[in-house]
Amino acid sequence: MRSVRDGSLPTTQRRAFLRFMSENRGRPDAYNGKTVRQIAAFQLVFEKAQTMVGQAKAQDAATDRKLRPLLDAKILSARDHGNSIVFTVTMHNKTGKTIAHANLALTIKDARTRQQVAEFQLHIDRAIPPHAAVTFDMPVSYRLFDNTAAAVKDAASHGALCTVQLARIEYADGSAAGSDADDD
């Protein structure tokens, strides 16, 4: 702690250390056995990661807003079915082109607690004709969720809440819209 008071710690690290200590007041387990410099470095990396996650989420939301006029996608229900969760998906193609593939970013929340239990990409390989709406069941193995599988299974058995963000649309003619696509 002396390096914080005597000024031997650079200003950026000193401020990061003080932010960490104020956020973790009353939690000695968060800093026991760590040096001031380790705590400051951890806090700077943590803040950078939070910034990057925020930027990625903002970019994902912008992509979703751009794709919504082209495709409306919703999860009507998510239910437990043995070794998998079954999503009832409805998609409405609002374009004049046949959609061959769509990537959706799904967030699953427990309906009872409203806590997020999983977030993942769902790749849909299903042709959707121009100006058509389709509804179908899509089973996804719980193995996809690794260490959150139990929470996802529990949420599914009690009516999981799912939100969808569109990530990418690929058309049958080879063109694409969305993330990493040359938009038409």
Task: Write the DSSP string, 80-100.
Answer: EETTEEEEEEEEEE-SSS-EE
Which alpha helices (DSSP H) does 31-134 contain, by range? 36-67
Q: For residue 81, which of 123, 164, 141, 162 has the smallest C-alpha distance?
A: 141
The count of residues in the chain is 184
pTM of the model: 0.67
Highest mean pLDDT among 6-10, 99-103, 111-115: 99-103
Can you give the residue ranges of every domain in the chain?
2-65, 70-175
How many other C-beta atoms can be found within 10 angstroms of the C-beta atom of residue 167? 20
Share of the chain residues as helix, strand and coil, in percent rounded to the nearest 5: 40, 35, 25
Whether 182 shows a pLDDT value over 50: the answer reads: no
> Domain 70-175 has what CATH class?
mainly beta
pLDDT in tens, 41-90: 888 898 888 888 888 888 888 888 898 889 999 989 888 888 999 999 99
pLDDT in tens, 8-43: 788 888 888 888 888 888 887 777 788 888 888 888
